[in-house]
Amino acid sequence: MPLESIRRMVLVCLMTALIALGAQMAVPIGPVPVVLTNLFVLLAGLLLGPRQGTAAVALYLFLGALGLPVFAHFKGGLAHLAGPTGGYLLGFLAAAAIVGLLTHKRSSRLTDIMAVVVGSLVVYVLGVPWLKVVTGLSWSKAVSVGLLPFLVGDAVKAGVAVVLAWSLRPALIRHMRAASA
């Protein structure tokens, strides 16, 4: 196996570990906790691109589905994926892919910002309806417990992801170029 492939796998695994760690930094405020998971999901798309970023989130979801305690509050299992936060978890997969696609070929500060906004919206587009269906909440209640309390915090986390990407991307690019030389 080429060294470059091994390095990419290591980066995917490292990002998966960061996503799982972010999930443990959880504050319960209702059926959907405040977590740092989405910061690392957005960062995965920004730094690793669509394929490896999505792979990092897919590995996180796979480990959780197997029952490893990688979801918020050290939970795991298929039942957790089918629960109130299941749509948000699947939204993380779509968000990493979309952020990676939007920034992979041509990244700029504006593109990165727009990508994390779109990626964050995708998480809500999948998470809120899922929350509504699974819990039987009305639309207004699902929005009030599954979207509104998170907007400011998620905006901050998206901003942090962008700043981290701007700081880390040059070193990552140099590292990958050196590895392939």
* The pLDDT value given to residue 181: 59
For residue 99, give the nearest of 143, 173, 151, 164 by alpha carbon: 164
**Do the beta carbons of residue 90 and residue 131 sit within 8 Å?**
no
pLDDT over 90 at 69, yes or no: yes
pLDDT over 90 at 90, yes or no: yes
User: Using CB atoms within 10 A of its CB, is residue 178 exposed (0-12), middle (13-18) or buried (19+)?
Assistant: exposed
- Separation between Cα atoms, residue 62 and residue 74, nearest integer Å: 15
- Separation between Cα atoms, residue 126 and residue 10, nearest integer Å: 29
Q: Specify the length of the chain in residues.
A: 181
pLDDT over 90 at 172, yes or no: no
Q: Is 41 helix (H, G, I), strand (E, B) or coil?
A: helix
In which band, very low, low, confident or very high, does the pLDDT at 179 lie, cut at 50, 70 and 90?
A: low
Structural domains of the chain ordered from first start? 3-180 (1.10.1760.20)
Q: What does the DSSP 8-state code read for residue 69?
A: S
- Separation between Cα atoms, residue 163 and residue 176, nearest integer Å: 20
Q: How far apart are the first and last CA of the chain?
A: 16
Q: What is the mean pLDDT of the chain?
A: 93
- Per the model's pLDDT, the better-predicted residue between 32 and 51 turns out to be 51
pLDDT over 80 at 65, yes or no: yes
**Do the beta carbons of residue 153 and residue 39 sit within 8 Å?**
no
At 91-145, the pLDDT tens digits run 999 999 999 999 998 889 999 999 999 999 999 999 999 999 999 999 999 999 9
